[in-house]
Amino acid sequence: DTAVSQTPKYLVTQMGNDKSIKCEQNLGHDTMYWYKQDSKKFLKIMFSYNNKELIINETVPNRFSPKSPDKAHLNLHINSLELGDSAVYFCASSRRGEDYGYTFGSGTRLTVV
Amino acid sequence: GNSVTQMEGPVTLSEEAFLTINCTYTATGYPSLFWYVQYPGEGLQLLLKATKADDKGSNKGFEATYRKETTSFHLEKGSVQVSDSAVYFCALSKTGANNLFFGTGTRLTVIP
């Protein structure tokens, strides 16, 4: 059983399109995250949700909108995709307030052409 | 603020060589410290962690000791294998902060 699953694994799309990436965790964690990894492997947090409530919203264009229908899901919708959005996006989850680290999904490689 | 600084890569070693990847941090209070590993084409996996000063995290032959006096958490392995080739990330978190701060990652390549 996959603990944190993301779909799709690869996404190639044209500039200007709108796309979504889905994430689900079956670990019973309260908190979920989206991270962006650029071509140099640098990881930066985008959003954090705890029990469907937005906790962290870093400086991310408002074309990016997270949606958490329940605490096991955190989807990422991106409007009007731009070339600079090309990256690998990682979903992760953790227990709130505990330092056990995060469990990451395997990533979604987004390529905007 | 909170930040993590890792040694620049890439690092290339021969099999059975000794590995050190340096990591230092800046944080208020007492963060927890982590090493994550990312194998090619995969997501990040927690390798080891330490939650207080002088703790030693260890896993799969890798070790790192939380040194508060030098604000460091260097990753070491006595004898690397080809299968250890990956990108290694040092990270810190503050309890309740709901955010992991990552270093820039260090790519390790082990050659037979």
Asked whether residue A106 carries a pLDDT value surpassing 60, the answer given is yes
Average pLDDT over residues B35-51: 91
A2 three-state secondary structure: coil
DSSP-H helix ranges across A8-58: none
Q: Summarize pLDDT for A56-92 with one digit per residue, the tens.
A: 777 788 999 999 999 899 999 999 999 999 999 999 9
Average pLDDT over residues B97-108: 85
Token pair in block for residue A102: 């995060």
Q: Are the C-beta atoms of A79 and A18 separated by less than 8 Å?
A: yes
Q: What backbone phi and psi angles, to 5 degrees, belong to A83?
A: -55, -40
Q: Is the peptide bond before B40 cis (omega within 30 degrees of 0)?
A: no
Chain B residue with CA closest to A10: the answer is B41
Please list every residue in chain A whose beta carbon sits closer than 8 Å to the beta carbon of residue B45.
Answer: 104
Residue pointed to by tokens 């030098």 = B70
Token pair in block for residue A4: 């944190």
Contact A43 B34 (CB under 8 A): no
Output A8 or A97, whichever has higher pLDDT.
Answer: A8
Chain B residue with CA closest to A6: the answer is B43
Query: What is the pLDDT confidence band of residue B79, given thresholds at 50, 70 and 90?
Result: very high
